[in-house]
Chain A
């Protein structure tokens, strides 16, 4: 199907995909996922880290089939449309570090850009601070992009390399099937399961997996990216990707009203805190890291499904970052900041700015 016009890359294509995700995400919440967390790439990767025992925060441990579906759905789309291109080598270790700090920033806010949008559409006013922070972080990133920041060229690689993250995801799915959750038990075989908290709230496995696959498929076709939405507006005054992001927010807002999940306010929002400065700063850090890595956490999963090994390394960086965030007490909770959350944001900005200032070599 190469050469066929990609309708999803048109304006209405990306808006359609945004609407599609905006309807499905609140429904996932209705079907069991945590509050304003129908889909949250950061939270779900954090839950995966917990299920594997990388961190022992008992309330956030579950292999999220949505994440598996995102990668495998994108993989299927990439193969079907002959866009699977195994590639690797654009500063992978830097992308790993960016992934770590993107996750740490997101966990100070309590959500990735996807969840920031879903929190807003569910009435959580704190998400406004998060989205403003996201814009600020990306805005800072565009100055570096304009002055030549880049991570260098990728190289074509073995098909096997492109398959690594999809295979890891398949492996996680197999583990889930071998060691399913047993009612009342916090562990089965090698996998940890939350008995309470957000990790214990999930839609049925098959539902989550199918929604993940379908979203992954269409997001790969449309290049849906929440970071790119803001970056392209700031950098090029282009509103193409923004159309998809706004469509997601509007569709999720309407869906939330229809299913009775819209509860406006700042206090007592699900899995959220009201520390405005740190909602802003955490997401600003995440936004800067996503901008430097060339995609929001969802887009990184979709690119990994297309065979982009660098995006796969970013994903692994996020999973490790989640483990660090919980082990070191960097992640926030509804009670407020983690004991070392502030230090983590400061260190994260220092690291990102160091990367931004020092990786500006002109491309030959």
Chain B
């Protein structure tokens, strides 16, 4: 079960900060980051990549996206 990070409505750098906080916490091997702008989607994907995580899926959800990232 992946952990959900709800960053909808937040502008940069908050979505990235929240994602990196979860990555650092090290509790989940998979995160589902909810964002509502393309900019946030790109930034979260880029940040995850820089920490060695992989974007496994980007789903359109509601008015935004769910970015699924996985460790390794």
- Residues of A whose CB lies within 8 Å of any CB of B are 3, 6, 9, 81, 83, 85, 87, 90, 145-146, 150-156, 223, 228, 231-232, 235-238, 240, 294-295, 303, 306, 308, 310, 363
**When A90-B11, A156-B63, A363-B14 are in contact, do A236 and B42 touch as well, CB less than 8 Å?**
no
Cα–Cα, bound, A150→B10 (Å): 9
**Can you list 17 pairs linking A and B with CB atoms under 8 Å apart?**
A83-B37, A85-B37, A85-B63, A87-B9, A90-B9, A152-B9, A153-B9, A155-B9, A156-B63, A228-B12, A236-B13, A236-B47, A238-B50, A240-B46, A294-B11, A294-B12, A363-B18
Q: Check B13 against A235 for contact (C-beta < 8 Å).
A: yes
Please encode chain B, from 28 to 70, with 1 for each CB lying within 8 Å of some chain A CB and 0 for all others: 0000000011110010001100100000000010010000000
**When A145-B17, A238-B47 are in contact, do A223 and B39 touch as well, CB less than 8 Å?**
yes
Contacts A3-B60, A223-B42 aside, 14 further interface pairs with beta carbons under 8 A come to A6-B38, A83-B37, A85-B37, A85-B63, A87-B9, A90-B10, A154-B10, A231-B13, A236-B50, A240-B46, A295-B11, A295-B12, A308-B11, A363-B14
* CB-CB nearest in chain A for B18: A363
Say whether B20 faces chain A, with CB atoms less than 8 Å apart.
yes
Q: Check A153 against B63 for contact (C-beta < 8 Å).
A: no
Cα–Cα, bound, A231→B43 (Å): 13
* CB-CB nearest in chain B for A150: B14
CB neighbours (8 Å) of B36 from chain A are 85, 87
Q: A245 → chain B, closest Cβ, in Å?
A: 15
Interface of A is mostly: loop
B13 partner, pick from A154, A155, A232, A303, beta carbons under 8 A: A232
Q: Check A83 against B38 for contact (C-beta < 8 Å).
A: yes
CB neighbours (8 Å) of A3 from chain B are 60
CB neighbours (8 Å) of A153 from chain B are 8-10
CB neighbours (8 Å) of B46 from chain A are 238, 240
CB neighbours (8 Å) of A223 from chain B are 39, 42
CB neighbours (8 Å) of B37 from chain A are 83, 85, 306
**When A83-B38, A85-B63 are in contact, do A145 and B13 touch as well, CB less than 8 Å?**
yes
Q: Check A236 against B20 for contact (C-beta < 8 Å).
A: yes
CB neighbours (8 Å) of B14 from chain A are 150, 363
CB neighbours (8 Å) of A295 from chain B are 11-12
CB neighbours (8 Å) of B63 from chain A are 85, 156
CB neighbours (8 Å) of B17 from chain A are 145-146, 235
Of the candidates B12, B16, B17, B47, the one having the most CB atoms from chain A within 10 angstroms of its own CB is: B12
CB neighbours (8 Å) of B16 from chain A are 236
* CB-CB nearest in chain B for A302: B39
CB neighbours (8 Å) of A238 from chain B are 46-47, 50
Q: B65 → chain A, closest Cβ, in Å?
A: 10
CB neighbours (8 Å) of A154 from chain B are 9-11
Cα–Cα, bound, A295→B13 (Å): 10
Q: Which 8 A-B pairs have the closest CB atoms?
A: A153-B9, A154-B9, A294-B11, A9-B42, A83-B38, A223-B39, A150-B14, A153-B10
